[in-house]
């Protein structure tokens, strides 16, 4: 059994509204929705602000994923049998993105996360490049507009940095928790002791 994966909420008070506005701006820029009185410049600014919010959200999800993978690697180092399996950072990244256990996939669906594979891959890709959440002024507007393409490529580069063993889905199991859910579970366990 692997350590639990605990995802912490990223709270940007304006986040959800920015994401909705950004999606609408993107559709307006593509001609799928009428733009009304908004200029191309206004729409682009709204799109870029929303995409930057997405980058920050993914960065913090990636922090949680990297922390989990590092915990898994510590477990591998403590187990003589696991040490012989050529399990690397990339093994666990691939496991999360490509072969997450069914209960984990179901929980993510229940949370409304439809495309967790892209989210996890992009989150890991961004964390392969940024040590801290980048400030918007440090990123070009073109990068922000198209970050998802860059993040997909950064994940691919990360995965090709080392030869690694793939983890069969049935071989390892782990639980997925939101941080609040995990805290409540621990508190309940302590109360029972």
Q: Render pLDDT for 122-157 as a digit per residue (tens, 0 to 9).
A: 999 999 999 999 999 999 999 999 999 999 999 999
Q: Domain boundaries in the chain?
A: 13-192
Per-residue pLDDT, 15: 61
> Model-level pTM?
0.85
Q: Render pLDDT for 45-94 as a digit per residue (tens, 0 to 9).
A: 888 999 999 999 999 999 999 999 999 999 999 999 999 999 999 999 99
**How far, in Å, CA of 101 to CA of 184, rounded?**
23
Rg (the chain; Cα; Å): 19
Per-residue pLDDT, 185: 58
Per-residue pLDDT, 111: 87
Q: Say whether pLDDT at 182 is over 60.
A: no
Q: How many CB atoms are located within 10 Å of the residue 24 CB?
A: 18
Per-residue pLDDT, 12: 62
């Amino acid at each position: 059994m692997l350590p639990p994966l605990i995802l912490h909420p990223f709270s940007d008070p304006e986040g959800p509204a920015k994401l909705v506005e950004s999606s609408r701006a993107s559709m307006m820029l593509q001609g799928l929705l009428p733009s009304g009185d908004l200029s191309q410049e206004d729409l682009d600014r709204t799109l870029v602000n929303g995409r930057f919010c997405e980058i920050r959200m993914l960065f913090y999800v990636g922090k949680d994923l990297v922390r989990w993978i590092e915990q898994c690697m510590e477990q591998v180092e403590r187990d003589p049998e696991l040490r012989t399996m050529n399990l690397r950072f990339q093994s666990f990244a691939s496991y999360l993105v490509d072969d997450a256990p069914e209960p984990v996939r179901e929980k993510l669906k229940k949370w409304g996360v439809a495309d967790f594979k892209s989210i996890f891959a992009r989150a890991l890709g961004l964390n392969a490049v940024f040590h801290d959440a980048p400030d918007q002024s440090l990123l070009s507007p073109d990068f922000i507009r198209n970050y998802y393409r860059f993040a997909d490529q950064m994940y691919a580069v990360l995965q090709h940095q080392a030869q690694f063993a793939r983890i069969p889905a049935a071989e390892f199991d782990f639980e997925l928790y939101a941080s609040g859910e995990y805290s409540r579970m621990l508190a309940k366990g302590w109360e029972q002791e």
